[in-house]
Amino acid sequence: MAVKLFNTLTRSVLDFAPLDPAGKNVGLYCCGPTVHDFAHIGNFRTFVFADLVRRFLEFSGYAVTHVMNVTDVEDKIIKRVRENQTTLRDFTGKYEAEFFKDLAELRCLRPTHTPRATEYIAEMITLIEQLTARGIAYQAADGSVYFSIEKYRGCGCRYGQLVNLNFDGMRAGERVASDDYEKESLADFALWKARVPDDGDVFWPSPWGEGRPGWHIECSAMSMKLLGTSFDLHLGGEDLMFPHHEDEIAQSEGATGKPFVKHWMHGAHLLVEGKKMSKSLGNYFTLRDLLAKGFSGREIRCLLLTAHYREQFNFTLDGLAGARTALARLDECLAKLREISGSTSAAPAEKLVADFRAALADDLNVSKAWAVIFDWVRDTNRRLVANELTPALAAAELAAWERVDSVFGLGGKAEAEAPPDILALLEARTAAKKAKDFKRADAVRDELKAKGWAVEDTAKGPKLKRA
Ligand code: AMP
Ligand code: ZN
């Protein structure tokens, strides 16, 4: 069954088909965090969405290479480094480490690659050189290098693929130095920013003098280096459509002359009382704020998975309490099934898996998927009361749940006792084994052992035990 996904480029739901002629390998890039502070759960809505896309594609038989960059140099970071009188690496290192802890707490699979922008400066310079060689980029009097929208459009390329733009008000050569700007200030944007005193120690040498990259070129360089000049899927929050993603397309297609990304997906915002959850509005919760209130990463993940990714979703603490109740119902049913199945194993029962697959194959219709799950809970409870479930039947239903859970990643209660970094390692080992990368699987097993956990491969899948 084809997986249907909405594509921002065509503004329509399409059958997903990878560029790989064998139809197997998929390259997925999702813009990662800017590590200037703790991420809030609005940011994590986008990362849980990317995790869902990746897991569902893997469930559907694809081999996904998932890249999530770490933006560790840009305007806001430099400002904070200056204010805190620290170094770039010390400052960003702390927030980066916390970010990955939070990501594991939310049971997101660790992306295959998590490149830091500062480690890809050479690739960014090469891209800018390609753009200058093609006459699409130019160095201005301020020493910075800008992307010329006029020259790009003159090559027959299209600027404004994701959003409609009005070029009438645009004056050729007008420039915008800041990474963030509105559609109304459509202008040539900075690829390389010449060093200014406020940058402190944050600069690199380049053919255009000392300076640092603009934010947009970072993602073009890292994504194409790790996934190739053309790749399948590019994701991010809806606020990134313009200018960030539009500029990524222009830089990449301008430099290579090839189509950049086949399929763009954008996640809608998490709101608080009708407004985007954001640092600047001060209406945000970090993950640690919610953990301090007694909620778990599992409950927060569950809540974030209840809304369709293209719909804005209002965050409330009552919503989280609702997720807790829903999980308790599910856990109770799973516990009874485990009690009956004992050590019996069986192939997954078909109905739950097939209905769940059909729901998510319809542009990730999570509401339908949850309805399937809770119909299954109701029906299973009825069969339990009626004593209809033999150990083999209970094991088959449990195995079906394990398949569903490879996508939703909620885990069972017993598993919830293992800390998130251990669960992330277990998932990494399972993924490595699935990809037949046994060397990596063994290395992860050793890492788990060193942390005091053993993995036992049972007929029902890998189980964690205290070593
Ligand atoms: P940043 O760390 O600011 O670069 O943002 C990381 C990701 O979070 C980006 O993909 C943003 O689009 C996304 N994001 C920011 N605010 C929200 C929100 N309120 N809801 C959903 N995603 C968001
Ligand atoms: Zn990006």
Average pLDDT over residues 292-300: 95
Residue nearest to atom 7 of ligand 1 (CA): 43
- Among the bound ligands, the one closest to the CA of 275: 1
Residues linked to residue 64 through DSSP beta bridges, in sequence order: 26
Tell me the average pLDDT of the chain.
94
Residue nearest to atom 18 of ligand 1 (CA): 42
Burial 101-140 (b: 16+ CB within 10 A, else e): bbbbbbbbbbbbbbbbbbebbebbbebbbbbbeeebbbbe
> Which pLDDT score is estimated for 247?
98
Q: How far is the CA of 45 from the centre of ligand 1 (A)?
A: 8
> Which pLDDT score is estimated for 449?
85
> Which pLDDT score is estimated for 322?
97
Q: How far is the CA of 40 from the centre of ligand 1 (A)?
A: 8
Average pLDDT over residues 141-152: 96
Average pLDDT over residues 42-55: 98
- Percent of the chain residues topping a pLDDT of 70: 97
Cis peptide before 205 (omega within 30 of 0): no
Task: Please give the Cα distance from 366 to 163 (Å, whole number).
Answer: 26
Task: Report which ligand 1 atom has the smallest distance to the Cα of 238.
Answer: 12
- Percent of the chain residues topping a pLDDT of 90: 84
User: What CATH class is the domain 327-412?
Assistant: mainly alpha
Average pLDDT over residues 185-195: 95
Binning pLDDT at 50, 70 and 90, where does residue 189 land? very high
Helix (H) or strand (E) holding 462: strand 461-466
Q: How far is the CA of 268 from the centre of ligand 1 (A)?
A: 9
Q: Note the pTM of the prediction, 2 decimals.
A: 0.89
CATH of 19-271, one of 3.40.50.620, 3.20.20.80, 3.40.50.11540, 3.40.50.2300: 3.40.50.620
pLDDT of residue 428 exceeding 80: yes
315-339 per-position pLDDT tens digit: 999 999 999 999 999 999 999 999 9
| Residue that has been written with the tokens 């329509």 in this structure | 12
Residues linked to residue 199 through DSSP beta bridges, in sequence order: none
> Which pLDDT score is estimated for 363?
98
> Which pLDDT score is estimated for 412?
64
pLDDT of residue 416 exceeding 70: no
> Which pLDDT score is estimated for 170?
80
| Best of 40, 45, 46 for a ligand 1 pocket test (most atoms within 8 Å of beta carbon) | 46
pLDDT of residue 414 exceeding 60: no
Binning pLDDT at 50, 70 and 90, where does residue 417 land? low
pLDDT of residue 378 exceeding 90: yes
Binning pLDDT at 50, 70 and 90, where does residue 237 land? very high
- Among the bound ligands, the one closest to the CA of 95: 1
Burial 208-221 (b: 16+ CB within 10 A, else e): beebbbbbbbbbbb
Average pLDDT over residues 52-58: 98
pLDDT of residue 381 exceeding 70: yes
Domain boundaries along the sequence of the chain: 19-271, 327-412, 420-466
80-99 per-position pLDDT tens digit: 999 999 999 999 999 999 99
Higher pLDDT, 413 or 33: 33
Residue nearest to atom 21 of ligand 1 (CA): 269
> Which region among 247-261, 269-283, 421-435 has the lowest average model confidence (pLDDT)?
421-435
Dig out the tokens for 72 from the structure. Answer: 């560790």
Measured from CB, residues less than 6 Å from any atom of ligand 1 are 31, 33-34, 42-43, 45-46, 236-237, 239-240, 267, 269-270, 276-278
Burial 412-431 (b: 16+ CB within 10 A, else e): bbebbebebbbbbbbbbbbb
pLDDT of residue 105 exceeding 80: yes
